[in-house]
Amino acid sequence: MEYRQVADGLTDSDDMVDGVNGEDSAKSAESGRQRHEHALAGILGPAFVAAVAYVDPGNVAANITSGARYGYLLVWVLVLANIMSVFIQYQSAKLGVVTGKSLPDLLGERMSDAGRFMFFMQAEVIAIATDLAELIGGAIALDLLFNLPLFVGGLIIGAVSTVLLMFEGGSTQRIFEKIVIALLLVITFGFIAGLFIDPPNPLGVVQGLVPRFTNRDSVMMATSMLGATVMPHAIYLHSTLVNDHYAGGRKKPSVQRLLHGAKIDVAWALLLAGTVNLCLLILAANSLHGMSGTDSIDGAQHAIVSVLGPGIGTIFSIGLLASSLSSTSVGTYAGSEIMHGLLRIKAPMWACRVVTLVPGLVVLWFAPNPTEALVIGQVILSIGIPFAIIPLMRYTHDRRLMGKWADGPVRHACFMLIAVLIVALNALLIVLVLRGEA
């Protein structure tokens, strides 16, 4: 009897121990899961900043024009463009993660003094052309919202974006990322709100996924959309952002974990940017198809007001304003990193802002039709594409530079195919514009 009591007591004690151990294990597992989720969340952010380049005012104009002219015909073009952008931006992030250096840094280490200066000059022209589109888009948004002169609107956009850039780098880098992500969410809501008022035709959207053209003009429009897929400054900057994300003494995870996080970061960020672009095209295809005057941003906004009401028109203008503020800040950030990587000069951010801002203000003051300046800016961006994408393709395949993380034959072949396609389409776009056919 005593033996049974002792045995029962031991059994009870073991059960208690097992219960405690089980509870501790559960708590440990839960804590580990929370730490895992927190660590993953800490990796996210750089791709969302780079993704802003894909929802700038230039893309807004192109997508609305495409939908208004051709309906759902070119939905497949945007889907293909987004797939290519995901690949390119991940490659840029991968280069930065593995080497710990940005693409401009690596270029600067491998070029002569004269080569670095020439490369910087073309990259700076690209940065100015980028800022031109963002500045014009923001000035038009302020004109639509508050009836401000374009030049005054440009000054306001320049001032506010300069304040945003004060949070770039160091211990406030995460704050800068959060501000840009918040603006990206405003852009998303501003540009898709009209779809809730006038829902699209699902069958038309599905049919738009089938690759096809109707005439020569639709081919040229698709060429323009695909050719403008990858922004040079987004490529340069993303390789920087993955390292600046850990500025201020933050501990970096392992390369493997960073690459895993970069895949998720890029997938979600570009999915959001691609969705915004797709919604813009669908909105125009559904509500503005066949309407005249939609070739300019302000004309598109007036068309939206006439069809969907002033409320949706105002929300659209707010989205356009957020697009301008975020993209112009990111463009200047990219210009600063290009200067630092190629010329080894760490200029104050306000100085970089002035360099890219002044030409845009001059255009707003003198140009009778700012939309034409957007077209010229797009051509300049097209010229800069090969200078960014070809070195990225070479470096990510270089085993001496990337070690075991270098691209294998299949991935490199895919990269070559995408690079050839993008460069060829941008070259075709330049020719069409110079001939007055695009």
Output the CA–CA distances (angstroms, integers) from residue 347 to 22, 123, 337, 354, in the order listed. Answer: 57, 16, 9, 11
pLDDT of res. 231: 82
pLDDT of res. 125: 85
- Phi, then psi, of 248 in degrees rounded to 5: 85, 20
Q: What is the CA radius of gyration of the chain?
A: 25
pLDDT of res. 375: 64
Give pLDDT tens digits for 290-348.
888 787 888 889 999 999 999 999 999 999 999 999 988 888 888 889 999 999 888 88
Q: Which residue ranges of the chain lie beneath pLDDT 70?
A: 1-42, 227-229, 248-249, 371-372, 374-375, 378, 437-438
pLDDT of res. 10: 40
Which among 43, 54, 42, 92 is positioned nearest to 331, based on CA atoms?
54
Evaluate whether the domain defined by 50-434 bears CATH number 1.20.1740.10: yes
pLDDT of res. 401: 96
Residue spans per domain, the chain: 50-434
What is the phi-psi region of residue 296: left when phi exceeds 0, alpha when psi lies from -120 to 50, beta otherwise? beta
pLDDT of res. 315: 95
- Token pair 């697009």: residue: 323
pLDDT of res. 93: 97
pLDDT of res. 25: 46
160, 328 contact by CB (below 8 A) = no
Which among 117, 92, 112 is positioned nearest to 102, based on CA atoms?
92
